[in-house]
Amino acid sequence: MNPEGKDFGTTKSGLETRLYHIEDGKGLSADLSDYGATVVSLTFTDSKGKERDLVRGYEDAADYEESGCYFGACIGRNANRIGNAEFSLDGEVYRLAANDGKNNLHSGPDTYNKRLWAVEETGKDYITFSLNSPDMDQGFPGNLKVRMTYRTVDNRFELEYEAVSDRDTVINFTNHSFFNLNGHDGGPVFNHIVTLKAEEYTESSKDLIPTGRRLPVTGTALDFTKGRRLGEALESGALPLYDDNFCLSSKPGEQAGEVYAPESGIGMKIYTDLPGMQIYTPPVAQGKGKKDTPYGPFGAVCFETQYFPDAVHQPAFKSPVYKAGEVYKTKTVYAFYRR
């Protein structure tokens, strides 16, 4: 292990970046950059001994700087969408960047995956990054201190988030890794079988802002309760893509979902203590990534654990607002297995 990491290139804005390697010694390893606290690669050995890199990404930080794809990104201060790019808190209106039509997506163009994070600690199987986000950064109130820890243990990739602000504010992080369990170069994920503990989803408008209603998945292309091929709805044209928030019925720490790829024999179970999970399948090509690989449409799927989108405007949704001094602490686990 190299605790200093290795060179990951210099961004066009002049940031010198590093890449760090962690592993569990049982076939799971990850490469992570201090540029954005980004998951650059996540490698798992299949039952035949073949190593497969299961996430889309780039070879150096400059490509991440230029990209708008959020590959492996640590998203904050607020993941997903806020309607009309504004919210009210403690009697004040806070205006955000409208970078998704009239709405705010992933906190705007100056999100945390475009920042250089500090490395607090690192070991053979873990690394902790930290970031200080000043008051009114991205339009949000409060000086926010964030710690992001990644671990590889017993074929589990664990993501631990911790943050605290000196003012009441919104805190809602997620990881935006694009998974393909056949490998980052594995082609469309149509044969990936997804199962979710989610009997409801949040109904949304055309611009993906929730209406406030939770609707049953039964009888829809969003019903993953008994396992479903992603391609079942996508290939038939029943859906143009998946970009939907599911209301998880699992308790904190319980398995919330699972995805399995018959071709590679690799599966991934998902555990979280958060109430929602956004599933996203990119419907268009995303350029070239690692090893000059063309990333075609529907070649990956995201499982973004989170508070519900636009929860700041929906009293019935669990609130992402944290009081001054209140600690935001959450954990998501991607647990891999092979058949």
Q: Cβ(97)–Cβ(105) under 8 Å?
A: no
Q: Is 154 left (phi over 0), alpha (psi -120 to 50) or beta?
A: left
E runs forming strands in 124-206: 126-133, 144-153, 156-165, 169-170, 174-176, 193-196, 200-204
- What structural domains and CATH numbers belong to the chain? 6-188+280-338 (2.70.98.10)
Distance between CA atoms of residues 38 and 111, nearest Å: 12
The per-residue pLDDT for 2 is: 72
User: Residue 192: which of 243, 233, 247 has the closest Cα?
Assistant: 233
pTM: 0.97
End-to-end Cα distance, the chain:
29
The per-residue pLDDT for 75 is: 98
Residue 95's H or E segment, with its range, is: strand 92-95
Burial environment of residue 323 by CB neighbours within 10 A (0 to 12, 13 to 18, 19 or more): exposed
The tens-digit pLDDT sequence of the chain (339 residues) is 677 899 999 999 899 999 999 999 999 999 999 999 999 999 999 999 999 999 999 999 999 999 999 999 999 999 999 999 999 999 999 999 999 999 999 999 999 999 999 999 999 999 999 999 999 999 999 999 999 999 999 999 999 999 999 999 999 999 999 999 999 999 999 999 999 999 999 999 999 999 999 999 999 999 999 999 999 999 999 999 999 999 999 999 899 999 999 999 999 999 999 999 999 999 999 999 999 999 999 999 999 999 999 999 999 999 999 999 999 999 999 999 999
- In tens, the pLDDT along 105-127 reads 999 999 999 999 999 999 999 99
Distance between CA atoms of residues 36 and 169, nearest Å: 21
Q: Edge-to-edge strands of the sheet including 276-280?
A: 210-216, 200-204, 243-247, 276-280, 302-306
CB atoms within 10 A of CB 181: 27
What pairing do the DSSP bridges indicate for beta strands 302-306 and 73-75?
unpaired
Distant-in-sequence, close-in-space partners of 64: CB < 8 Å, separation ≥ 6: 33, 35, 36, 38, 58, 71, 113
- What tokens does 90 get? 């403690």
The per-residue pLDDT for 1 is: 60
Q: Which residues are catalytic?
A: 176, 304
Distant-in-sequence, close-in-space partners of 255: CB < 8 Å, separation ≥ 6: 197, 269, 270, 271
